[in-house]
Amino acid sequence: MNVKEKNTSYTTRGLKRIRNAFRYSIDGLTATFKNEAAFRQELMLAAALVPLAIFLPVSLLSKTMMLSSIMIVLIVELTNSAIETVVDKASPEKHPLAKRAKDTGSAAVFLSLLNLAIVWGLCLFNHFFS
């Protein structure tokens, strides 16, 4: 193996690997923001809910759970967008397995949003009614 072969991305280590990973992550966030309306909507939701969670007079544990539920929605939406992109690339024509993959990703987003609503509801109920 010559020096050129060793200098590929899979052998990059240390700070350079971390910098590359960070850059790839920013590229993924940017592409998803540009191409996915649902992600933009969920970011707007996060922009409203994050300050609300921080400033609501609830316990630190409740704040943490509320903020985590927001992050979970964004993480699941990014994963769903990745699945949809790969499915569209691999199978541009309609196929039952492609539909199943897309529907399953959509269901994961739905459950993450349901989780957000439940966590926020329980945290607020606990604060205001107990």
Fold of 37-129: Helix Hairpins (1.10.287)
Lowest mean pLDDT among 40-54, 87-101, 104-118: 87-101
Prediction pTM value: 0.87
Give the DSSP letter of residue 8.
S
Residue 77 annotated to the active site: yes
**What is the pLDDT, as a whole number, of residue 117?**
98
Q: Report pLDDT digits (tens) over 49-91.
A: 999 999 999 999 999 999 999 999 999 999 999 999 999 999 8
What is the predicted pLDDT for the residue at 80? 98
Q: Tell me, what's the pLDDT at 79? A: 98
Torsional class of 76: left (φ above 0), alpha (ψ -120 to 50), beta (otherwise): alpha
What is the model's pLDDT at position 92? 83
Query: How many angstroms separate the CA atoms of 109 and 121, rounded?
Result: 18
Catalytic residue among 42, 77, 84, 93: 77
